[in-house]
Amino acid sequence: MAFLAMNAQPFGNYGLVLEEITPIGMPGVQSFAWGQHNGQWFIIGGRTDGLHRRQPPFAFLAADNNVNAYVVDPVTGQVWSAAIGDLSQSMLEQLQSTNMEFEQRDSTLYCVGGYGYSATAADHITYPNLTAIDLHGAMDAIRNGQTIVPYFRQITDAQLEVTGGQMRLLDGSFYLVGGQRFIGRYNPMGPGFGPGFIQEYTNAVRRFSIDDDGVNLGISNYWEHVDTVNLHRRDYNMLPQIFPNGVEGLTVFSGVFQYASDVPWLNTVDIRDTVITVVPAFEQLLNQYHTGHMAMYQTNTNTMRSVFFGGIGRYYFNSGGTLMDDPNVPFVSTISLVERDGAGNMQESEIGAMPALLGAGAEFIPWPATPQNASGILLQDQFVGDTIVLGHVVGGIESTAGNIFFINTGVESAASSRVFRVLLVDAGLGVPEVAPQARSAQAFERGRPADHRSRSAT
């Protein structure tokens, strides 16, 4: 087991620690959907390869789809699997797609959209489907080698034809935010060169109810807010938040791509009911693509903490502590923290590093026994003991170098089977600190060139 201690400064007398665990038979998978039931994880969808290749004939090959559903017990290290081939053709195609949006309500996992090759359409498509999965029944069937078919239901709704967005349940409503509709093969040369494609960002927050009586599925109370400037993003992180006034909502962090060039957005957007607000005077410089992320709230200081584990980002600190600007947007090992204080001020800092270029397309799965609210926000004031399990960082892409996109032949990165237990450990136990003191990205940002083209900023 590897123990990696992170900077303890933001967590009082506790240090953030990663402990690698090795479930036997753990799949290498990235950009997947997950749910959990009775302390075990359910994993479906996503891809079994690494970063997609640039050449259209080799990008997002169906051969690298994840065609299994998995149950993982992080305590015993056991892994069970079942092929999804017995599902209906429509379910089978959607549930092996990448970048589905998903959310769990009670013991039902809802999967929306996703992108991949459809044998029915004879093309790569974004799926216009909502699939409901009974986790209790499906996971029990997988563990016992029984059919999973009775535990899956699906409807079609064009309003849900989205990939690369995020979906969250808040106050009884589902929020489907950002993402895109992409039809055809990926082609970095654009839609008018070679095999063409259709790409339509939703630019939207879509709010709706999922009506589900256990048999019938439906969408009602649909509401949409379109903002072509601030919601034009995908492949980002969206975290539940408790705002300074005690109201719960969501924050959309960074993501891609800006209109003028293929670089990430830097601003963030708050969602509170139907109020959509760009956060003033804050730019997120670190960890800008979708990665494992964790939300934690401290009541006594009214502090909201959002932690991002590795992934991909335009900015990163080099070994000498200099903030580097790479517009090629490389894989990074950065673990960063964004704090919102009781006055609403936000501050970003680097607090540690993953043990490799890990995290892109990974997921953080909160530990169910740790105090948290219904949205999965960990409640720091209620932690008891000298070691608290916060959750696990699961899967994603592991890259051999920061910038591989232009040389990618399919072997420079891979879907990771690595799992890291995330702990808060009392510093009095003598856990060594291996990361530097927390470095504020915003403190360095003041020297960043105005055209954002320099490869370093000090």
Computed on alpha carbons and rounded to an integer, the radius of gyration of the chain in Å comes to: 21
**Rounded to 5 degrees, what angle do the CA atoms 184, 189, 192 make?**
60
- Contacts of residue 116, Cβ cutoff 8 Å, sequence gap at least 6: 60, 62, 65, 93, 96, 97, 98, 124, 125, 127
Element (H, E) at 222: strand 217-226
- pLDDT per residue of the chain (458 residues) written in tens, 0 to 9: 555 655 545 687 888 999 999 999 999 999 999 999 999 999 999 999 999 999 999 999 999 999 999 999 999 999 999 999 999 999 999 999 999 999 999 999 999 999 999 999 999 999 999 999 999 999 999 999 999 999 999 999 999 999 999 999 999 999 999 999 999 999 887 777 777 799 999 999 999 999 999 999 999 999 999 999 999 999 999 999 999 999 999 999 999 999 999 999 999 999 999 999 999 999 999 999 999 999 999 999 999 999 999 999 999 999 999 999 999 999 999 999 999 999 999 999 999 999 999 999 999 999 999 999 999 999 999 999 999 999 999 999 999 999 999 999 999 999 999 999 999 998 777 665 544 456 766 555 534 433 322 222 22
Identity of residue 218: G
The rounded distance, in Å, linking the Cα atoms of 424 and 87 is 41
DSSP 227-296: -TTTS--BS-EEEEEE-TTS-EEEEEE--B--SSSSS----EEEEETTEEEEPTT----S--SSBEEEEE
Give 161-215 pLDDT, tens digit per residue.
999 999 999 999 999 999 999 999 998 877 777 777 999 999 999 999 999 999 9
Q: How many CB atoms lie within 10 A of CB 374?
A: 11
Q: Are 226 and 219 in contact (CB under 8 A)?
A: no
Nearest to 101, CA basis, from 48, 155, 160, 60: 160
Coil, helix or strand at residue 366? strand
Write out the two tokens for 304.
Answer: 């909201």
The upper half-sphere exposure of residue 411, i.e. CA atoms within 13 Å in the direction of its Cβ, equals: 0
Q: Are 24 and 78 in contact (CB under 8 A)?
A: yes
CA distances from 158 to 113, 161, 210 (A): 9, 5, 15
The upper half-sphere exposure of residue 33, i.e. CA atoms within 13 Å in the direction of its Cβ, equals: 36
Peptide bond into 193 cis (omega under 30): no
Element (H, E) at 306: strand 303-312
Q: What integer pLDDT is reported at residue 427 of this predicted model?
A: 78
Pairing outcome for strands 378-379 and 292-298? parallel
Q: Which runs of E-coded beta strand occur in 68-170?
A: 68-72, 79-83, 101-105, 108-112, 115-118, 123-126, 129-134, 152-156, 166-170
333: alpha, beta or left? (left if phi > 0; alpha if psi -120 to 50): alpha
Which pTM does this prediction carry? 0.94
- Contacts of residue 250, Cβ cutoff 8 Å, sequence gap at least 6: 168, 170, 175, 177, 238, 239, 240, 241, 270, 271
If you classify domain 3-457 with CATH, what class do you get?
Answer: mainly beta
Q: Are 366 and 294 in contact (CB under 8 A)?
A: yes
Element (H, E) at 442: helix 441-445
Identity of residue 454: S
By residue count, the chain amounts to: 458
The rounded distance, in Å, linking the Cα atoms of 338 and 279 is 13
Write out the two tokens for 255.
Answer: 């993501």
Provide the CA 366 distance to its chain's centre, in angstroms.
Answer: 13
**Rounded to 5 degrees, what angle do the CA atoms 338, 343, 347 make?**
20
